[in-house]
Amino acid sequence: MSGLELFAAALGVTAVWLTVKQNAWCWPIGLVMVLLYAWIFFDVKLYSDMLLQVIYAALQVYGWWQWTRRGALAGGRTVSSLGGGALLISLALGALVSLALGAAMARFTDAAQPWLDATLTGFSLVAQVWMAQKRVQCWPLWIVLDIIFVGLFLYKALYVTAALYALFILLAVQGWRDWRADPALAH
């Protein structure tokens, strides 16, 4: 455990709590957090997670834009639900990314958990895009992923980060409740 990990975890809690509350400040705070975690994961040889944080940085900017843009979406993006076809296509893309990244990490790096790390990365990208688009389905996917992340981080002795992801599970449950109750979802 380091001061950097503690600070990144505090930013993570703040960012996810703001996401649950649909406050667009979740994105710039999240940007700082993911950049710090990119370094932390590099240090413990979770390379897929490190790459995920770099991609998350771009997705933080995308999320900020999605949640704050004006025009056709006068008040910014509202909570919505994916249709069955879009849901399956997104999950299939997550599986393909997982397989490709896992194979690359297993073959070309000394990654600590190449297949598990890659699978979590592939599906986390799906969840993050859904979150940026305010798709209610992001929350149950995050719940499953965060449960697995807790185990991985305990295995890698990242105890503060494991605790953070345990808290993320609780926040994701609250996010799922809140977003399903959003009046915009009924339309």
pLDDT in tens, 83-129: 999 999 999 999 999 999 999 999 998 888 999 999 999 999 999 99
Tokens of 173: 């449950």
What is the per-residue pLDDT for 136? 96
DSSP conformational letter for 31: H
pTM here is 0.86
Report how far residue 42's alpha carbon sits from residue 40's, in angstroms, rounded to the nearest whole number.
5
H helices of 75-133, where?
84-108, 114-132
Inter-CA distances, 102 with 15, 36, 71, 147, Å: 28, 23, 40, 20
What is the per-residue pLDDT for 158? 87
Report how far residue 6's alpha carbon sits from residue 40's, in angstroms, rounded to the nearest whole number.
11
Percentage with pLDDT > 70 across the chain: 95
H helices of 21-113, where?
26-43, 47-68, 84-108
pLDDT for residue 187 is more than 60 = no
